[in-house]
Each structure stands twice: as C-alpha cells, then as structure tokens.
Structure 1
Amino acid sequence: MSTHYETLPTADAYSESFAVAPPEALGERHLWPRKPGFFIVHAATAAAIAQPVAKAAADVAIDVPTDAPPQESTEVPAINTDRVLVSAQWGLVPHWVKSASDAKLRATKLVNAKSDTASTGTAFRDAWLNGQRCIVPMNAFYEDDLRSGKAVPTRVARVDGKPMGVAGLWARWQGADGEVIISYCLLNVNANNHALLHRYGQPGSEKSMPAILNEGAYDAWLTARPEKAKEFMRQYAAQWLLANPVEKKADKIPKGLLG
C-alpha cells in the first residue's frame, strides 16, 4: 500500500482534469501521511462537511401530504453536483476518536483502506456505509521494488501523463474543545494478479494498488449507493500505467568523487 504520492503540479490541472476550481495554494508536491492534501466531493457534500448540522440535499427527506392541493409542487430540490476541492489531512480520523493526540496516532496508520474490508473494518465502516466517498487527485504514487533485496522507490503514473482520480473516503472529527479535523484515506484493491503492480511490496505479502477511477465514473462514484460502491473497486489496466525507479541524488555522483 502506497504511503507516498504526488499532488498535481499546476493549478490548471485541477480544472482541466477534474472540473474543480484550483486551490489558492498548491501545497506540498510530495505527500506523506498526516500531511495536508486535497479531495474532491460534490458541492452539497462539501457544504455538509463545513456545516454538519445542515444535511446535503440528497439526504433530506421530502414529506408530501396526501391531501396536498394540486397546485403545490412536489418536486425534490435539485442536488448541486458541482465538484468542489476540499483541503484535508491524509490519514483518516474516525468520528469516534476521543482526543486529538489519539487522532494523530491513528491517522498515520489509516492512509489506506482495503476495499474488500472497508465496509466492515472498525476504522472505515461508518465512512463507507454513510457514503462519505471522495476522489483524491494525484499525479503519481510510489511503491517500493524489493525484488533485488533492496528497497527501490518506484514512481507509478499514467502512460499519458494525465492526473489520476483515486477513490477515497473522508471523515469529519470534532473534539470536545471544538477542534475540527477533516481527513481522508485512499481505497485500495488487490493487485496479486496485476501485470505491473504485483511486482511491488513485501515478498509473500498481499499486493495492492490504489483504486484508480475512470474519468467518466467520477460523479457516479460520488453518488452511488453503498451497496453499489464496490462495483467501482477495480484494478486499473497495466498497459495504462508506467513504473520508473526513482533516481537518488547519490546515484548521480560519479563513484570516484565519493568520500
């Protein structure tokens, strides 16, 4: 499971690839657990995150009296499905965490959720069942190649160089003193039989990869019912991905010049 990814390199990339207004500041290019990043949700959901007492339009039940006069409209208000970029911490903080210190400890271990257990695992279950789904924009993610016995960081990106939208879950935590932490995690799928990603990670362990969404499925992922959400948890085709070892500064120094 990846614990390092790249955010988008330019502001234009957010609007061009995800149809969202770019952030005021791009933030850190390389993201690690507990660092501030971004996720994407619909505007109605973003409003509910900011003001939890006000439910999103999709969650509001409309009661229509059976004896309502014919001239009264019974249409359900339109849901604002414009996409919004939300600033948040990478590393989920479940709503039931008791303190900010406990939140910090848990967040580093909750940056990834296995898609096959997200609906039952204690940390992610509520976010999954409550439909707290998001899209995490990224330019690339990193995995360790351990086949040589030495960890070689490897950058995985799309062949065409375009950003990836990874399926994720978000959460809102509020402490007794009013402190609020908005957080998210990436959803992962099994990659044991993936033509590319099966090479990475600890030998003998289950291989996994981020659940990369097809561009045309973004809105469907955000609005799908919980029982349908797992249909989006699929491997991204190996031929659409490119993996390159990351060159370290020491690798560029001629051996004769070393110590």
Structure 2
Amino acid sequence: MCSHYEAPAPQRVADTFGVEPYEQGRLNLWPGYIGPFIRSAEHVDLEAESPAPNEVLAGSFGLVPSWSKDTKIARKTYNCRSETASAKPSFRTAWRQARHCIIPAAAIYEPDWRTGKSIPTRIVRSDGELMGIAGLWEEWHEPGTDRILHSFTMLTINADDHPFMRNYHKPEDEKRMVVILPKGLYGDWLKASTSDSMEFMRQYPADRMVVAM
C-alpha cells in the first residue's frame, strides 16, 4: 500500500503524457494533499489541429465519494484493493463507471521492516522513467457551495509472490503493490470498459524496480 509518493515536475508529466503544462504545489504527497492525475479528456476541441485525447487535473490524493459529508475520508481511501473495488461503498461508483485515471509518480515510498523497524524506502523505475499508476477518480461537490473537488485513488493488487515488493510492509501483513502500467497501455487503460478493468491489474516486473536515494 502506498501512502506517500513524489509527484514529478509538471513539464515531465506534460512530456510523458501529452497533456498541457500545469502548476503543481507540493511534490511530496500524502493522503489529502493535492496532486495531478491524468484522465481521458471530457471535452475534446475537434477544431484544434491536434486535439489532445487526455487531460491533467488537480485532485486530492484519496478518493472522496460523492456521498461523503466532508473530505476527511481521503485519509483512508488513498489506495483501493482492485479485488473488492466493485463492492466497497467508497470505490464502487468510480469502478462501475470506469472512471479510470493515471497517477504520475517519480517515486513511491514503502516501509521496509526487515531490520525489525520501519525504514521508509524510496522506489523508482530502473530505467528512470515516470511511473504511471492505475487509479480511479471522483468528483465531489461541497455541500451548500459551488465548490467541486476532484480526487483519486491508487489501485493495488496482491504482491505476496512478487520478488521485489514482497520485501515491504510488516512480515505478518499481506503484501500489496500499486498497479504500475506499462507505457504502451496508458491509452488502453483510460479508455477501458468496466468489464475489462481487471485485465490491467498485473504486477509490474521486479527487475524494472529499484531502490533509490
């Protein structure tokens, strides 16, 4: 499970995902902080010379479902178990409506307990490229106001047998990992139907992940 990650510099996101540059505040993100996510563009300018199929939005790290009374729930909904996403109240609407997104990350942090105490460990792609993490997005309307908050969650899968990610979290806990998408599947994930969503829930190869300072 990932509760801390690094958002990339905006220009890197723009170059990698073919979206417009944007303003980013904090680069070290925790649940409830605002970060970028990529989704299929809702309003494509057909008159543009090269209409962009995707767009980048700012959203809360931690899904805030439409029925929530406030945004505090984001502290608990930053990760979503893909196996139960269709049934859990916080995630089922986004899953059933295929509100797919990609969370760009320069690095993720996971706790290494192999010494007997938790050591935050910075994990990156071995090729130096950005991680594109599969996620779900939501739109929340603040009660009594016109304010709209976008939010997102990272999808996770079991990693008990993953040669790299099984080393993280407490020994007695189930090992989980976020779903890091191969670059060639970015567009397919954003356009995928609900019935095809689980096809993307795969472990990222261990030899393509490294610990970095």
Common fold, TM-score beyond 0.5? Answer: yes
Matched, 1:17 2:16: yes
Distance 1:88 1:82, change over 3 A: same
* Corresponding residue of 1:82: 53
The answer on whether the counterparts of 2:24 and 2:36 sit within 8 Å (CA) in structure 1 is no
Aligned counterpart in structure 2 of residue 123 of structure 1, from 62, 73, 90: 90
The answer on whether the counterparts of 1:88 and 1:183 sit within 8 Å (CA) in structure 2 is yes
**One-letter code aligned to 2:37:** F
Q: Compute the TM-score of the two structures, normalised by the length of structure 1.
A: 0.76
Q: Compute the TM-score of the two structures, normalised by the length of structure 2.
A: 0.92
* Corresponding residue of 1:255: none
Unaligned 5+ residue runs, structure 2?
45-50
**One-letter code aligned to 2:153:** C
Matched, 1:136 2:103: yes
Matched, 1:186 2:158: no
**One-letter code aligned to 1:96:** W
CA distance in 1, matches of 2:185, 2:21: 21
- Percent sequence identity over aligned pairs: 38
**One-letter code aligned to 1:14:** V
| Ranges of 4+ aligned residues in structure 1 off by more than 6 Å | none
Aligned counterpart in structure 1 of residue 182 of structure 2, from 211, 214, 221: 214
CA distance in 2, matches of 1:152, 1:16: 33
Q: Where is the strand percentage greater, Structure 1 or Structure 2? A: 2
Alignment RMSD (CA, Å): 1.5
Aligned counterpart in structure 2 of residue 30 of structure 1, from 25, 28, 31: 28
Q: Deviations over 1:160-193 (max 9, x none)?
A: 1110100000111113312322111100111110
Aligned counterpart in structure 2 of residue 146 of structure 1, from 110, 113, 117: 113
**One-letter code aligned to 2:195:** E
Unaligned 5+ residue runs, structure 1?
48-55, 57-79, 247-259
Matched, 1:7 2:26: no
CA distance in 1, matches of 2:101, 2:10: 19
The answer on whether the counterparts of 1:94 and 1:171 sit within 8 Å (CA) in structure 2 is yes
Larger radius of gyration: 1
Corresponding residue SS for 1:116: helix
